Structures are given as C-alpha cells and as structure tokens.
Chains A and B, each alone.
Chain A
Amino acid sequence: MKILIVGGGMGGTIVANNLARRLESELRSGKAQVTMLSASDQHMYQPGLLYTSIGRMAPDELYRDQRSLLEPEVEFHVDPVVTFDLDNNQVVTKSGKTHSYDQLVIATGSRAAPETIPGLAENSVNCYTEAAALEMLRQVRDFKGGTVGIVVGVPHKCPMIPLEVTFVLHDYFKEKGIADKVQFQYTYPIGRIHALAPVAEWATGEFARLGINTTTLFNMKEVDGNKIVHSEEGETVDADLLIAVPPHRGMQVIEDNNLGGNGFIPTDRHSLKMDGRDNVYIVGDTTNLPISKAGSTAHFEAEAVAENLAALIKFGTSVRDYDGKVFCFIEAGKERATYAMFDYNNPPNPKAPNKAVHWFKMAYNQLYWASARGLL
C-alpha cells in the first residue's frame, strides 16, 4: 500500500513517524510505503514566532532539518504539490514528477492573509511568519508610547494568540519602563474577549487589573493609513501601533485545485476523510472543521489518521474516530500560564494560571521536537 503525505509540518510529520513505527515490518518487506512531499527542507516551530516578535527567540532557534525529524523508513522529497488529481489517485509536483498513491494525507496548513482586509497588511504587524515577526520586533522595539491596538480576524491559527500577544507586550513595555505611556485597546470578534467562556471570564479580570481596554463584537472591515481600524459593526479603533491576528486561509494550492473554499477542505469530523473521498484524509489547519487551528489539534488528528491507516493494512478496516480533542497552553504574563483541554463532548475547564504550567510550556518549546518525532 502506497501512503502519500503532502505537508511536512506538525500534522504530516506525526502521521509519517507514527505510521513508520506501526508499520515497521510492512515497510521493511515492501508491503507498505510511506512518502512525504513538502514545500521546505526545514520544519518551523511556529509557536516560537511569538517570542521572536519580542526578541526572546532567535530565528535560527525556530528551525530543525525536516529529514532529521523523520524516521529513516519515510521517503522524503522537498517538492511541493501543484496539482491534486484525486480521481486518478495521483499528484503532480513543482518539478513535474507524478506521485501515485493508494491513500493520501493532506496536511498543508494555513497562512495568515492580512491582504484580505483593505489596509491591514500596510498598517499593522503580526507574528505569523519569520519576516512578519522580525518587522513586529522592530516596531515594538521602536515604540515610545501611545495606543497599542490588537485586532483579530477569523478564522485564525492558534486561538490563544490574541490574549497571549497582549499579555506578552504588556510585560515587555513594563520591563522597558514605559508602561505608563502605553494604552492597550484589545478587540475581539464575538461578545466576550475570548472564544472559551471560562478563559474570557478569567482574562476579563486580568485585563481590568492591568488597565487594558476592550471592545467586543469588533470585526475588521478596513484600516486607513492612520492606523484607524473600522469595524463591520460601525466602530473604530485608532492605534499608534497596530498588532494584527490576521484572518487565515488555507494554502493557495488547495484553492487552485478547487478542493475547498478559502483553501479549507470539507472534512468529516470523525473519520477525517475529505467529504466524498474514501482514500483522502485531511489533517491539521487544512480541514474546514470548526475546531481550533492549533498544533495540538493537528497532533491528535494525526494520531487518529495514522492508527486508522495502519489498521487498514493490519485489520482491513479503520478502528477509531477522532474525538475532537484539543489541548492549548495559555500564557498569562508574569511567568504564569494555564491550559485548556476539550473535545466534542467535554467542554474546557481551565484552572487559574500558575508558574509551573509556564515553565512546562517553556520546556515544551524544546519538547516540541520530540513530539514531532512521535516520541511524546
């Protein structure tokens, strides 16, 4: 059986390594083959970008060589897919090669698209790519005081970023000794300051304590040249430094191949199969599922997909459903953090932030690589 994985990020890497372990003898005997195609020979630890944007993690610390993260049995090519020919079970790559498959996994991720809101890209900074994080660092470092606006588009990758970036910047300006010259204006798309009600409740108290102003039900419509953000709801935020959590889209290749609107592929919430396709699985940010676009989501989905693909070979059938599990750390400033865990049937119930969880999150910045290798 030929299994082809497109995308070498969090989701794709865990699928590949998990499969390599489960199918050790089948890979040795040639009964199974696992191939990965990716767009880069590097794997980026994306959560690190938040720290890069305030000068706490150097860009070179974000990357590992992708080959070094993969089990040796996984065949790996840096050759992005340009055409998905699902009717004929094959893809075509940028170099012109055709790869056929019996089972396909698509895990190409998502990307921040500030250009989809007029004026946003020109007038704001964000921490969603290395280049953007370095520009954010430059503007944050040079900021002498005024209003910091935080604006949030939907959907976006990592639901904790709006709160985290606010707490982290608040600490940054306090340490710099200019906290009294900086006002924060935090906005959020729905009627509370975070999607998770218990997190919103806790953060509302923290924001009040720190003097952070909030505007809810605020969805960006356009940004004018003076960093004035106009909302769909008819309100405005006037900022001197505008920090964006831009709306996201799936990758262009998904849109170009008409696999899903805005680049997000219609996916069954339990089997993780692409709607209408029995041998195409979607993992991570690329699904259109209404769950958090987060590394932990990609991780838990990848484990379910790998187990089912291995079971197809060993049992002739899939053996389990994805249960909607998500786990997110929440950095709360002042070296404290908490976490939220939930699935389709169990709502989250985060505890008060503490230092121990913060240090565990710091350790996770390194443990991530063990997690991608499938060792955690």
Chain B
Amino acid sequence: MLELLSKGNIMSERKIIDARGTYCPGPLMELIAAMKQAEIGDELEILSTDEGSVNDVPEWINKVGHDMVETTQEGDVWHIIVRKAK
C-alpha cells in the first residue's frame, strides 16, 4: 500500500510503503520498486516487521548512493526513512 503524506511545512511528499508481514518480494524489493518512481529529494518511509530490514535497507541505500534519514521502532514495526539522492 502506498500512501502520499504531506510532511508538515516541507513541501515535498513522503511516500509510505506498508510492507508489514510480507515476505516475498519483501520490504527491500518494494523499496527498490518505489524508488524508481520517486523524484530526487523525495523521502520514502518503509514499514517492516522483518528486523533484517534494519540492515538490508541501509546496505542497499549506501551501495547505490541514496541517503538514510532515520530508523525507528514502534512495537514490532520498523520505520525506515530514506531519501532519493540521484
């Protein structure tokens, strides 16, 4: 599920990718697909119940050259925010 949220007073949009409880293709693959559609500067927030995402996502983001913004945990859900840099 992709929703567009307005980030308060900043004008760009943050896309939420709800990949909770999904194993295949899984959170990182969803993020890769969503990143293709995003514009440079857009932020994407991935929701994942797979703790592996906490390592998988930064590994890919760093390799490809996008930006990690923030990782937080609420209950058993990880919220990982990234920014498209190129």
Q: Which residues of A contact B (CB under 8 A)?
A: 154-155, 159, 189-191, 195-197, 217, 219, 232-233, 247, 261-262, 266-269, 275, 288-292, 324, 326, 328, 340, 342, 344-345, 347-348
Contacts and interface: CB of A to CB of B under 8 A. Distances in A.
B24 A340 contact: yes
Contact of B33 (A154, A291, A324, A348): A154
A217 to B, nearest CB: 5
Contacts of B42: none
Given A191-B59, A266-B1, A268-B1, A291 B24 contact: yes
A162 B3 CA distance: 30
Given A154-B36, A197-B52, A344-B22, 16 more contacts: A154-B29, A155-B25, A159-B24, A159-B25, A189-B32, A190-B32, A190-B60, A232-B64, A233-B64, A266-B2, A269-B18, A288-B1, A289-B1, A342-B24, A344-B21, A347-B23
12 contacts: A154-B36, A189-B29, A195-B23, A233-B63, A266-B2, A266-B3, A268-B1, A290-B19, A292-B24, A292-B25, A328-B24, A344-B22
B9 interface: no
Given A190-B60, A261-B37, A288-B1, A219 B25 contact: no
Interface centre among A196, A291, A292 (most CB of B within 10 A): A291
A261 B30 CA distance: 14
A134 B81 CA distance: 43
A326 B23 CA distance: 10
B25 A195 contact: yes
Interface string B1-29: 11100000000000001111111111111
The A interface is mostly helix, strand or loop, or mixed, namely loop
Given A190-B32, A261-B37, A267-B1, A217 B63 contact: yes
Nearest to A198: B23
Interface residues of B, number: 27
B1 A196 contact: no
B56 interface: yes
Contacts of B19: 290
A250 B32 CA distance: 17
Contacts of B23: 195-196, 342, 347-348
B59 A290 contact: no
Nearest to B26: A195
A262 B33 CA distance: 10
A32 to B, nearest CB: 30
A155 B28 contact: no
A344 B24 CA distance: 10
A376 to B, nearest CB: 23
A288 B33 CA distance: 11
Contacts of B36: 154, 247
Contacts of A233: 60, 63-64
Contacts of A342: 23-24
B32 A196 contact: no
Contacts of B63: 217, 233
Nearest to B37: A261
A158 to B, nearest CB: 11
Contacts of B27: 290
Nearest to A196: B24
A284 to B, nearest CB: 16
A356 to B, nearest CB: 23
Interface centre among B26, B30, B59 (most CB of A within 10 A): B26
A290 B48 CA distance: 11
Contacts of A195: 23-26, 29
B36 to A, nearest CB: 8
A191 B30 contact: no
A159 B25 CA distance: 7
